[in-house]
């Protein structure tokens, strides 16, 4: 039982583990929880499907598409996905519509949400640099916002020397 995938092996030094064999089944108790060990990690399928309750829900959103492909897409979900910087393709796939249709209907909301993300990220970086005194963020912001460089170039050294004619 030295196989790494074997659930019967101890998970860590501090883990308490007890093993019992009952009627051909192996039961493992780990930290107070009892688990049944199945050799191939495959259980028999349920004989009876669980009882399901069905309900109706009203969705408020923007109606896009034509005919059978019409979809109602909630605007709040679009904004949340855009604030996570999801691509148009990812968001369109999430809602089950074509990318061009999605882009045409939600461009304004997506671009605004992405700007909000940029502002929140910049605010977090400035807070991290100033309040938490993170030197890495301070250096990065000074180079990008203030124009500082590692190799400063003096303006005096870049001027061309005057050429004097006739003086020998």
Output 50 or 115, whichever has higher pLDDT: 115
Q: Give the model's confidence band at 4: pLDDT under 50 very low, under 70 low, under 90 confident, else very high.
A: low
The model's pLDDT over 17-65, given as tens digits with 9 standing for 90+, comes to 666 666 666 777 766 777 666 655 555 666 677 788 888 889 899 999 8
The residue-averaged pLDDT of 97-125 equals 95
Residue 2 has pLDDT above 50, yes or no: no
Beta strands in the chain (DSSP E): 17-22, 25-30, 33-37, 62-64, 71-73
- Contact (CB, 8 A) for 62 and 88: no
| Average confidence (pLDDT) over 81-92 | 96
Q: Are 8 and 37 in contact (CB under 8 A)?
A: yes
pTM: 0.56
């Amino acid at each position: 039982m030295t196989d790494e995938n074997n659930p019967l092996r101890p998970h860590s030094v501090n883990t308490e583990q007890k093993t019992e064999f009952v009627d051909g089944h192996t039961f493992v108790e780990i930290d107070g929880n009892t688990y049944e060990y199945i050799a191939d990690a495959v259980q028999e399928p349920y004989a009876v499907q669980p009882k399901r309750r069905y309900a109706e829900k009203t969705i408020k959103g923007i109606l896009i598409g034509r005919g059978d492909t019409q979809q109602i897409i909630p605007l709040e979900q679009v904004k949340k996905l855009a604030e996570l910087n999801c691509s148009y393709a990812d968001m369109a796939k999430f809602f089950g519509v074509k990318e061009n249709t999605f882009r045409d209907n939600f461009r304004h909301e997506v671009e605004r949400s992405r700007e909000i993300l940029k502002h929140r990220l910049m605010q977090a970086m400035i807070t991290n640099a100033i309040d938490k005194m993170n030197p890495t963020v301070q250096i990065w912001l000074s180079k990008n916002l203030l124009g500082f460089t590692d190799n400063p170039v003096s303006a005096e050294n870049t001027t061309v020397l005057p050429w004097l004619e006739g003086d020998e």
